[in-house]
Copies of this chain bind each other. A is one copy, B any other.
């Protein structure tokens, strides 16, 4: 993993032709400190000073490269999130949907990256900029992948022409997000199976009788 790829900030690259450049070592150790502290003490007690100390870095260095705690979390999150997004493609809609739903549930509820995501989402409730960034950098793509099995099936003719992949994806994944973020219920495989089955039964039924 050549880690300049997660470095899109142009300001950080301004020093390109200079003698001195950003310390990659510092950057890495900050992001690791964030990961570690998030797990150990939780978001609520995460402080810039704590991160700096843990990373063996000065506060100034953090402020130089990240404009806020949330942006720092975004970076720490991006580092890990992509692993979870891409659905399998077996050619069987029901299986692909179940597998990806299971994967998303696992990510959201049990992974470290998911914990960071929930923390970011929580912050995003009071911070429109963060919300926007979270959406454009993660959710848009995430949603695309959630729709992917359905669109593939649509292309294959496994779903009726007038089926709406967006809506169907919403009915499969919405309840999963709800359980993790809101009700705190565990997302069991049985629940996922029921969701997928009902959704597909529905689609076939309504898709075949569009006039109803």
Contact = CB atoms under 8 A, between A and B. Distances in A.
Dominant SS among interface residues on chain A: helix
State the number of copies, please: 4
A171 B203 CA distance: 13
Interface stretch (A77-85, A150-158, A179-187): A179-187
B135 A125 contact: no
Contacts of A194: 164, 167
A125 B119 contact: yes
Given A125-B122, A205-B206, A212-B201, A195 B178 contact: no
A107 interface: no
Interface string A187-212: 00000001101110111111001001
Interface string A137-167: 0010001000000000000000000001001
Contact of A201 (B127, B176, B202): B202
A87 interface: no
Contact of A44 (B42, B126, B171, B176): B126
B171 A171 contact: yes
Nearest to A167: B194
Contacts of A170: 174-175, 178-179, 195
Given A171-B198, A198-B202, A183 B139 contact: yes
Contacts of A195: 167, 170-171
Contact of A135 (B178, B184, B197, B212): B184
